[in-house]
Structure 1
Amino acid sequence: MAQSGDGGNPFADPGELDNPFQDPAVIQHRPSPQYATLDIYNPFETREPPPAYEPSSAPTPLPPPSAPSLQSSRKLSPTEPKNYGSYSTQASAAAATAELLKKQEELNRKAEELDRRERELQHAALGGTAREWILAQRNNWPPLPSFCPVQPCFFQDISMEIPQEFQKTVSTMYYLWICSTLALLLNFLACLASFCVETSNGSGFGLSILWILLFTPCSFVCWYRPMYKAFRSDSSFNFFVFFFIFFVQDVVFVLQAIGIPGWGFSGWISALVLVGPHPAVAVLMLLVALLFTGIAVLGIVMLKRIHSLYRRTGASFQKAQQEFAAGVFSNPAVRTAAASAAAGAAENAFRAP
């Protein structure tokens, strides 16, 4: 029975039957313009260039970066100064810093004052013997080296023992004492030079040695220490001692400035006498006379200032008498002597017939 169609022809050529490309499923997928395959690709074919890119709309320009952003993005060179802000900002910061430092210094001064007052109260609470022993252990004046056989005799600390409103006055008096000591030393050198050129001035040279050995320790003990203790403990008795002795010291300062020949002072008169024959020695003596004059003027000014401070402290002569009496009767040696005198008087009274 015969079959219709090519696919069912049993008498067809065997090659046609075995050809897979004759299959209808393959034939319908042969190359066509709709399918771009490698079989139809020609690399040497000339094609039109693609059209140029045309943006649909112009992009919105970005705003330029501000100055701070540029400065932050740019690295500074090692030598280029940094900008920490405007001048007004820096000035206000500096003013605030100065104000804080000033307040800190004020707080430190108040703390030191409270510490000093606390130590004073502690010392006042101690007994007399214990307090004297402590003061003897901490003596610091004169400032002698440790290897010196003579040890300091006094304790002196103006910033700790003297109230703050009187510290400047006490310091000025201390410098006045130092200047007077230096003036006596220069006076000794001037009198030595005068004695070398005029042998008749031997008495003045000898007295200059006596003055420097006598006035230096006596002035410190007799008027500086009473003034120091008067301001330290508000002592009326020490104020009166200072006024009396320092008035005499001012008179001596004036005599030193005058320079009477033969008294051992290189003052104005002694210097003017040697101007003609020995001008070099006269110049040295004039310098000493000028120093004596300045010390005399400063001594008079300080005497008036301390007297005005004394009147404002409320001190009086009656208070000085009470302090003197309390100091005398609190002295163990005085009490012992008084008790011995009383016992001797009582014994003599009983022995009398």
Structure 2
Amino acid sequence: MAQNREGGNPFAESGELDNPFQDPAVIQHRPSPQYATLDVYNPFETREPAPAYEPSAPASVPAPAPSAPSLQSSRKLSPTEPKNYGSYSTQASAAAATAELLKKQEELNRKAEELDRRERELQHVALGGTATRQNNWPPLPSFCPVQPCFFQDISMEIPQEFQKTVSTMYYLWMCSTAALLLNFLACLASFCVDTNSGSGFGLSLLWVLLFTPCSFVCWYRPMYKAFRSDSSFNFFVFFFIFFAQNVLFVLQAIGIPGWGFSGWISALSALKINTAVTVLMLLVALLFTGIAVLGIVMLKRIHSLYRRTGASFQKAQQEFAAGVFSNPAVRTAAANAAAGAAENAFRGP
């Protein structure tokens, strides 16, 4: 026992065969110092440090491609290659500035045309006023004994912003005249089929002879002169007469029998008489309807333009008074009346 305590090995006295730790079966399962396990780890044992990490030889890396600016600086752009003028916002602002310049250029061109027109008018006035201008409407041949009565040039006398409106009204007057002529032919055909419709045929001839010149003089010319000289008086005359003309357009489209208008009622009434006459009258009724609709639309449009021109009833009164007193015939009659009144006053009772 004393030896066992001194040596610390209870199997020292016995041979190696009696030592269970020297058994080959146990030795082959003893952990090797190559494995870092907790059983064989000794913190007081100094070991060689692990070799430093040496990365493998890097593969050949291709040289970085030159940037876009260097490429552009190293070579010249071809004529067909688009250029980079900047960011999208810069291009958008440049496009907006270009559009603004184009708009201003168009406005300047329009003002130049207006000044050119005014200059031509002043030249005409300097040459002697409207008397020096030869009348060109209606366009009659030179051998005709009746000569043109008016001078009309929409492109020269009407401001550019109103030329389309005046041209539309001129075409409206031409369409109304053509509709009256077709109405006369339809009433003539109806009279040839039914002799009882003689009153309608006679009135249709009267409407052609009456409304064709009167419509031109009474509402088209006032409208033309109103836009030409911005005349409030002519605007009022046009509105009053053209409103009555629109009422007449509606009556023409309705076509009351016996009134000389081949409107819808007259056309449907002729359905039992002759089919060809009915078709012709229906075409005239359709034309009358289109003219009535266009007349109402143009009346509203011209009224809106009139309100933007700054015209007023007081201005129309002033223009009327100035026109009356500037008329030589009116001034002569007024002078004669004043002279007669003064003479009677001096004579006494």
User: What TM-score, normalized to structure 1?
Assistant: 0.68
Query: Within the alignment, does 1:259 sit opposite 2:260 as a pair?
Result: no
Partner of 2:132: 134
Q: Which moved more, 1:146-155 or 1:340-349?
A: 146-155
1:114 offset after TM fit, Å?
2.1
Give, as a single letter, the amino acid of the residue that structure 2 aligns with 1:243.
F
Deviations 1:180-234 (A, max 9, x none): 0000000000000000000000010000000000000000000000000000000
Question: Using the alignment, how far apart are the partners of 1:124 and 1:322 within structure 2?
Answer: 23
Partner of 2:33: none
Question: Using the alignment, how far apart are the partners of 1:254 and 1:192 within structure 2?
Answer: 22
Query: Within the alignment, does 1:233 sit opposite 2:229 as a pair?
Result: yes
Q: Does the C-alpha gap of structure 1 residues 105 and 304 become closer, same or farther in structure 2, counting only changes over 3 Å?
A: closer
Partner of 1:345: 341
Query: Within the alignment, does 1:170 sit opposite 2:166 as a pair?
Result: yes
Partner of 1:181: 177
Q: Does the C-alpha gap of structure 1 residues 87 and 211 become closer, same or farther in structure 2, counting only changes over 3 Å?
A: farther
1:145 offset after TM fit, Å?
1.2
Question: Using the alignment, how far apart are the partners of 2:284 and 2:153 within structure 1?
Answer: 31
1:165 offset after TM fit, Å?
0.6
Deviations 1:294-322 (A, max 9, x none): 00010001000000100000000000000
Partner of 1:112: 113
Partner of 1:282: 278
Q: Does the C-alpha gap of structure 1 residues 327 and 125 become closer, same or farther in structure 2, counting only changes over 3 Å?
A: farther
Question: Using the alignment, how far apart are the partners of 1:307 and 1:115 within structure 2?
Answer: 28
Give, as a single letter, the amino acid of the residue that structure 2 aligns with 1:204.
G
Give, as a single letter, the amino acid of the residue that structure 2 aligns with 1:131.
G
Partner of 1:246: 242
Asked whether the 8 Å contact 2:193–2:273 carries over to 1, the reply is: no
Question: Using the alignment, how far apart are the partners of 2:141 and 2:296 within structure 1?
Answer: 35
Question: Using the alignment, how far apart are the partners of 1:87 and 1:271 within structure 2?
Answer: 70
1:241 offset after TM fit, Å?
0.2
Question: Using the alignment, how far apart are the partners of 2:103 and 2:306 within structure 1?
Answer: 32
**Matching of residues 191-206 of structure 1 within 5 Å:** 191-206=187-202
Q: Does the C-alpha gap of structure 1 residues 197 and 234 become closer, same or farther in structure 2, counting only changes over 3 Å?
A: same
Q: What is the root-mean-square deviation of aligned Cα atoms in Å?
A: 2.6
Question: Using the alignment, how far apart are the partners of 2:81 and 2:265 within structure 1?
Answer: 64
Partner of 2:150: 154
Question: Using the alignment, how far apart are the partners of 1:224 and 1:88 within structure 2?
Answer: 57
1:113 offset after TM fit, Å?
2.5
Q: Does the C-alpha gap of structure 1 residues 122 and 298 become closer, same or farther in structure 2, counting only changes over 3 Å?
A: same
Q: Which moved more, 1:260-269 or 1:104-113?
A: 104-113
Query: Within the alignment, does 1:325 sit opposite 2:326 as a pair?
Result: no
Partner of 1:299: 295
Question: Using the alignment, how far apart are the partners of 1:227 and 1:124 within structure 2?
Answer: 22
Q: Decide which of 210, 215, 219 is 2:206's aligned counterpart.
A: 210
Identity of aligned residues (%): 87
1:109 offset after TM fit, Å?
5.3
Query: Within the alignment, does 1:308 sit opposite 2:308 as a pair?
Result: no
Question: Using the alignment, how far apart are the partners of 2:144 and 2:213 within structure 1?
Answer: 18
Give, as a single letter, the amino acid of the residue that structure 1 aligns with 2:283.
L
Q: Does the C-alpha gap of structure 1 residues 108 and 347 become closer, same or farther in structure 2, counting only changes over 3 Å?
A: same
Question: Using the alignment, how far apart are the partners of 1:141 and 1:242 within structure 2?
Answer: 20
Give, as a single letter, the amino acid of the residue that structure 2 aligns with 1:118.
E
Give, as a single letter, the amino acid of the residue that structure 2 aligns with 1:248.
A
Aligned positions, number:
257
User: What TM-score, normalized to structure 2?
Assistant: 0.69
Deviations 1:126-175 (A, max 9, x none): 7xxx324213xx21111111221211111111111101111110000000
Question: Using the alignment, how far apart are the partners of 2:195 and 2:339 within structure 1?
Answer: 62
Q: Does the C-alpha gap of structure 1 residues 203 and 352 become closer, same or farther in structure 2, counting only changes over 3 Å?
A: same
Give, as a single letter, the amino acid of the residue that structure 2 aligns with 1:121.
L
Question: Using the alignment, how far apart are the partners of 1:87 and 1:170 within structure 2?
Answer: 51
Deviations 1:234-286 (A, max 9, x none): 00000000000000000100000000001000000000001123111001000
Give, as a single letter, the amino acid of the residue that structure 1 aligns with 2:132.
I
Question: Using the alignment, how far apart are the partners of 2:81 and 2:336 within structure 1?
Answer: 84
Give, as a single letter, the amino acid of the residue that structure 2 aligns with 1:120.
E
Question: Using the alignment, how far apart are the partners of 1:178 and 1:142 within structure 2?
Answer: 12
1:120 offset after TM fit, Å?
2.8
Give, as a single letter, the amino acid of the residue that structure 1 aligns with 2:129.
R
